[in-house]
């Protein structure tokens, strides 16, 4: 997710872990401000 911005094809999008990873990738960091 960090390198491509999306989950790999083998990942199950229905798992809550995938949701957590995608949400963390979308969240802004303090360094951006």
CA 30 – CA 14 distance, rounded (Å): 29
What pLDDT is attached to residue 29?
Answer: 65
Name the pLDDT band for 30 (thresholds 50, 70, 90): low
Measuring CA to CA, which residue among 1, 30, 29 is closest to residue 15? 1
CA 2 – CA 29 distance, rounded (Å): 13
16-27 pLDDT, tens per residue?
988 888 888 887
What pLDDT is attached to residue 7?
Answer: 85
**Max CA-CA distance within the chain?**
34
**pTM higher than the cut 0.85:** no
CA 24 – CA 27 distance, rounded (Å): 5
């Amino acid at each position: 997710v960090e390198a491509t911005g999306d989950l790999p094809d083998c990942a199950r999008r229905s798992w809550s872990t995938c949701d957590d990873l995608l949400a963390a990738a979308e969240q802004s960091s303090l360094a951006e401000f």
